[in-house]
Structure 1
Amino acid sequence: FLFVGLIFFWLWPPIHFDAMLSRQLYWLMNWSMLLDGLLFWWLILDSRSPAFSNALGYGKRILLLALVAIPQMILGAWIVFSRGMVYDVYEVCGRAWPMPPETDQLLGGLLTWIPPAMMSIVGILIILRRAMHEDGGHSSRQSRQPITEGSAP
């Protein structure tokens, strides 16, 4: 909730307007998003095995990645397909590159939509690889144990 909530909070047009015009709010927005992202990905990419520690299980990590991707994609799509200007603050403070406002909004929406979805998919693939590698490691260790007399295969 914190990860997606902060994204929605800072991209809510009135809050974003104020953050873009206030140096203190701008830095707070950037630092809070950086720390929030680091904490989220630290949880997701935790190298400890859930089988041998109290780390979050692989299934829960995958579910989290899917759950954060959906609202981000919806937010990005809303920005892309909005008829009017969502962030009129850029008329006041300017744009990084000279481009029409519609193009700027389209690119901003696409950047809010596509990269987060791709990062969630990459994260899911990494977690699946870890889970399969761990599962394969346990089964191969079990199959290599010698069968002693009186033990079931």
Structure 2
Amino acid sequence: MDRVFIKYIGGRAVWRDGIYHTGLVFEDGQVREVSAEAAAKLLRHGDVFAAVEGKRVKKADDTEALEKAGALEVEREAAAFDAVQDVILQINQMGKDELELYAKANYGQSLDKRKSAENLREAVVQMVHQFGIVQ
């Protein structure tokens, strides 16, 4: 895997990647050896990063660990999103009685069965978003 040296020239004392989810943290003037993929993304911002030749600064380089942590965080977020979507798909297949039982069993909420099935589905989906998935 190709590695590229990039230097943070953005001017802040500390810069934390919140855009590309690499998990990288740069101090002002710090040089890190990053993957070519991460470098391509970061170097799009020429006012913040510059490609450099040479070696890292003396500080221990934890770039690889940070990149792995960033990738794991993205995977966790994707898994959580997928789990919520799976529950919503199940809710969309339920009838009024099932929706009422699901809301009561998982969230302790009573539903007004006089409302349409679609309104009940929306209420249960809101509960999922508000309270999370109940195991």
Q: TM-score, normalised by structure 1?
A: 0.32
Q: TM-score, normalised by structure 2?
A: 0.36
Higher relative contact order (CA 8 A, sep 6+): 1
Greater strand percent: which structure? 2
When Rg is computed on C-alpha atoms for both structures, the one with the higher figure is 2
